Structure 1
């Protein structure tokens, strides 16, 4: 069961992911969490603190998801890597669309908020490290995996904007992974 703090942060993710950066206020978070007015500001006094809390909560939830994804595919093979990346890309842009949009909104906010910038950078580093470890297990270099991660970042944006909506990403990922293998 989620704590009140997690409840506030999950509501903030929902507000940020559905309404964008301008929609994120303490009052909007209180409404989304169905909590009394002032609840969000009791945990996060400033908007900056709330944004940093959201970044940390996203990182927590991402870590949980990546751990589950690693267990799902078992021993490392190129086929498992392609399947995991396909699942990740599809999940991030469908089931987990709001959370992905919240992450992108945080990225924009992080340009003006140094503490948030560090938190966003740390989360991206963790994702990149996970991908490099996964790639290394099937023979991809760190540089090749970096190219793959950069492709995924772009693919997420294209799918969220509708440019690739409904298209199965597997064929493109398969082609890219095989091209990057030594």
Structure 2
């Protein structure tokens, strides 16, 4: 069961992904999270602190989604890795579209906020480090993790922008992963 802080952050993510950055106020987050007035402010005094908290919460949820979707914390075969990445991409543009849109909104906002940019970069580095641990059994150089994370991010972004009805990232993910691991 999510904590009150997590509910606040999930409400902020929902607002960012459905209504955009301008809709993100402490009062609106309280309403979206079905929390009493002032709850968001109690956890996050400033908008910048709230946005940094959102970046951290997104990373937590990414890890949880990977474990649930792939049913494996760490893939043991290349096929399992590709399958997990495919499931994650489909989830990001489908059932989790709102959070994905919130993520890209956050990326854009980070360009004008040094503290948020640092938070987003830190979360991105953690994501890359996490991916690198998954790639260790394959003997991959750590730099491969950044390439795969960035590639997957691009695949997801382009699907959000283009919305191909026959979206199937599996073949290209398979070719990319195998080429990078060879």
Note whether the superposition's TM-score is higher than 0.5: yes
Aligned to 2:100: 100
Aligned to 2:117: 117
Alpha-carbon contact 1:159-1:165 (below 8 Å) kept: no
Aligned to 1:39: 39
What TM-score does the superposition give when structure 1 sets the normalisation length?
Answer: 0.87
Gap runs ≥5 in structure 1: none
CA RMSD for the aligned pairs?
2.1
Alpha-carbon contact 1:17-1:102 (below 8 Å) kept: yes
CA shift digits 1:58-103 (9 cap, x unpaired): 2222233344456527651111111111111111111111111111
Distance 1:172 1:32, change over 3 A: same
Give the number of equivalent residue pairs.
182
Alpha-carbon contact 2:66-2:84 (below 8 Å) kept: no
Distance 1:69 1:133, change over 3 A: farther
TM superposition shift of 1:133: 2.2
CA distance in 2: counterparts of 1:5 and 1:176, whole angstroms: 38
Gap runs ≥5 in structure 2: none
Find runs of 4+ consecutive structure 1 residues off by over 4 angstroms.
67-71
